[in-house]
């Protein structure tokens, strides 16, 4: 990543703000673009971005644009602003879902610039630039999601970006692999946590709660607007995973009801074996 | 708790061993009883218990007996050994389920002694006296589960026991309240974690896994034999809770499929509200 270039973070929320902060701390020239001017003001006052006003000039001068927008508006933002882009602009994103995002954006940018897609697998139970946090990158994976139309240079940029933000691990996946993986490892657990919290009155149970329940439901403190979009945009994978999960829940229920310890022991042993595999890494 | 009395821990596994260790460290005279003589030897060598042989004399001399046995064998152990009990013996247990345990034991002990039931809400993903751990009590709840036939003295003993083991919190619940609470707060989360790990091949996904998935599935490393018994002995409550949970999973699935953001936002907001309530304590 070149320190002479202008970096523009569009959407200065929790993720965009955290990226801007990390890059500014490394000495890059980072600007912010957001319709919420108090986010810009906060970013400016706290050394996260260099500008305290917002204008189209920021887009015109940007060599690299980092999109921290909600998934539902990211493609239309590109369409509405591409006439302002500098020739050969490099654009990236931080979106948690890739189908119907990466290919449409790349199509919009033909003849203008290049889009290389990123997903930093981290987040907080808060939102807004005020909660910007660069520590979360250091324990997280960065997934680079290139397509056939990406250049080697854009993938090198993505790796360099990941190293600058000090991600714990950097991986490359296709759009399809990414969206299947995120459905099972992130979206399904969030659906489960939300379902568990909604399935039973719990206010009277707080005093008896142990770590197991708290660990399992921590992610139920979900940003309702962002996660609705992520679930709906990945619904084909997610509904498949929910169905598979419910099938096993039904099998466990029947085995408990029939006192079938053979099936129960076998399911418990397999879950233990698979989960222990996650501790080794 | 009187330091002149003889305390006998029956079943020197993870829980029994941890209780024995904590009481020995406080200066009580603690003995162990187990069919596995290597557990006894380990307990003796490590200062957890005072004896390195096992005989009926231990039962005859015990003033207080603490049962660290599997739920399926605890009532029959009482039946088979009650002819050895000292008159007015005080017996307690550490079992995670109370229906079909507490009342049958109290009935067996009429005219012999008293049974006051306890549930230390803690555990580890390991088993055996070798993994004894007294730290786990300090972050856990102790639930005392008295019945109408318990004396004030036995409840005072239970509280004193909880204070000696330095539990974070001590609560009193009825058998029915306890088994309903444990179904939702502990058993259902364990069923969910096991189902999640069994619903999808995951070995190839380890490298992408974040904290959410790890937190949610930590408890999938379950002791298959103990938890099968706990689930089956509480099946009426647990099957009800599984059904309620699956209903909400189905509602979430339908809402995602129909892109019904009104229902999704409402479920997410409620789960967030309820879960935040757990952070305040």
Q: Which residues of chain B have pLDDT under 70?
A: 280-281
CB A272 within 8 A of CB B218: no
* pLDDT the model gives residue A114: 98
Task: Please state, in angstroms and rounded to a whole number, the distance separating the CA atoms of residues B195 and B190.
Answer: 9
Comparing A222 with A268, the larger pLDDT belongs to A268
Rounded to a whole number of angstroms, the distance from the CA of A20 to the nearest CA of chain B is 22
Beta carbons of A249 and B198 less than 8 Å apart: no
Cα separation of B119 and B96, whole Å?
Answer: 6
Enumerate the residues of chain B whose CB falls inside 8 A of the CB of residue A228: 261, 264-265, 268
Indicate the burial class of B122 (C-beta count within 10 angstroms; 0-12, 13-18, 19 or more): buried
Note the pLDDT tens digit of each residue in B91-142: 999 999 999 999 999 999 999 999 999 999 988 777 899 999 999 999 899 9
pLDDT digits (tens, 9 = 90+) for A26-42: 999 999 999 999 999 99
Interval B223-235: pLDDT, tens:
899 999 999 999 9
Answer yes or no: do B244 and A268 touch at CB < 8 A: no
Tell me if A278 and B209 make a contact (CB, 8 A cut-off).
Answer: yes
Yes or no, beta carbons of A272 and B200 under 8 Å apart: no
The more confident residue out of A205 and B253 is: B253
For A169, other C-beta atoms within 10 Å of its C-beta total 14
* Cα separation values, B137 from A126, B105, B141, B166, Å: 32, 25, 8, 6
Q: How far apart are CA B60 and CA A17, in angstroms?
A: 70
pLDDT digits (tens, 9 = 90+) for A57-112: 999 999 999 999 999 999 999 999 999 999 999 999 999 999 999 999 999 999 99
Distance from CA of A72 to the nearest CA of B (A): 13
Q: What is the pLDDT of residue B41?
A: 97
The pLDDT assigned to B239 comes to 98
* Per-residue model confidence (pLDDT) at position B280: 61
Between chain A and chain B, the number of residue pairs with CB atoms below 8 A apart is 283
Of A189, A210, A253, the CB nearest to B239: A253
Q: How far apart are the first and last CA of chain B?
A: 30
Annotate B101-117 with b (16+ C-beta within 10 A) or e (fewer).
bbbbbbebbeebbbbbb
Give A98-152 pLDDT, tens digit per residue.
999 999 999 999 999 999 999 999 887 778 999 999 999 998 999 999 999 999 9
Q: Between chains, do B207 and A239 touch, taking CB under 8 Å as contact?
A: no
Write down the pLDDT at residue A280. 61
Condensed to tens digits (0 to 9), the pLDDT of residues A158-197 reads 999 999 999 999 999 999 999 999 999 999 999 999 999 9
- Contacts with A208 from chain B: Cβ below 8 Å: 121, 141, 143, 171, 173, 181, 185
Q: How far is CA B164 from the centre of its chain?
A: 18
Residue B195 or A212, more confident: B195
One-character DSSP codes across A69-119: --TTTHHHHHHHHGGGPPTTEEEEE--S--TTTHHHHHHHTTTTEEEEEEE
Query: Around A6, how many Cα atoms within 13 Å sit in the side-chain half-sphere?
Result: 17
Question: Confidence band (pLDDT; 50, 70, 90) for A208?
Answer: confident
Instruction: State the DSSP code for B241.
Output: H
The dihedrals phi and psi of A240, each to the nearest 5 degrees, come to -60, -45
Between CA B69 and CA B76, with CA B75 as vertex, the angle to 5 degrees is 95
Distance from CA of A128 to the nearest CA of B (A): 17
């Amino acid at each position: 990543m070149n320190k002479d270039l202008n970096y523009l973070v569009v959407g200065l929320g929790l993720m965009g703000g955290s990226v801007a902060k990390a890059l500014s701390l490394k000495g890059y020239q980072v600007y912010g673009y957001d319709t919420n001017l108090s986010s810009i003001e906060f970013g400016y006052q706290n050394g996260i971005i260099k500008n305290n006003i917002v204008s189209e000039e920021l887009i015109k001068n940007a060599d690299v644009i980092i999109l921290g927008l909600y998934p539902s508006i990211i493609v239309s933002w590109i369409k509405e602003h591409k006439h302002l882009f500098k020739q050969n602009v490099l654009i990236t994103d931080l979106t948690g879902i890739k189908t119907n995002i990466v290919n449409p954006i790349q199509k919009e940018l033909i003849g203008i610039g290049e889009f290389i897609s990123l997903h930093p697998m981290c987040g907080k139970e808060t939102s807004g630039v005020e909660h910007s946090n660069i520590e979360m990158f250091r324990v997280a994976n960065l997934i680079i999601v290139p397509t056939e139309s990406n250049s080697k240079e854009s993938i090198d940029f993505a790796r360099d970006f990941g190293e600058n933000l000090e991600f714990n691990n950097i991986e490359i996946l296709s759009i399809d692999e990414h969206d299947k993986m995120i459905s099972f490892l992130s979206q399904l657990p969030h659906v489960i946590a939300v379902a568990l919290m909604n399935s039973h009155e719990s206010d009277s149970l707080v005093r008896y709660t142990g770590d197991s329940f708290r660990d399992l439901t921590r992610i139920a403190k979900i940003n309702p607007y962002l996660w609705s979009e992520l679930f709906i945009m990945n619904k084909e994978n997610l509904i498949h995973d929910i169905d598979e999960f419910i099938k096993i829940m039904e099998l466990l229920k029947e085995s408990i009801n029939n006192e079938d310890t053979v099936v129960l022991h076998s399911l418990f042993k397999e879950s233990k074996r698979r989960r222990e595999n996650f501790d080794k890494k």
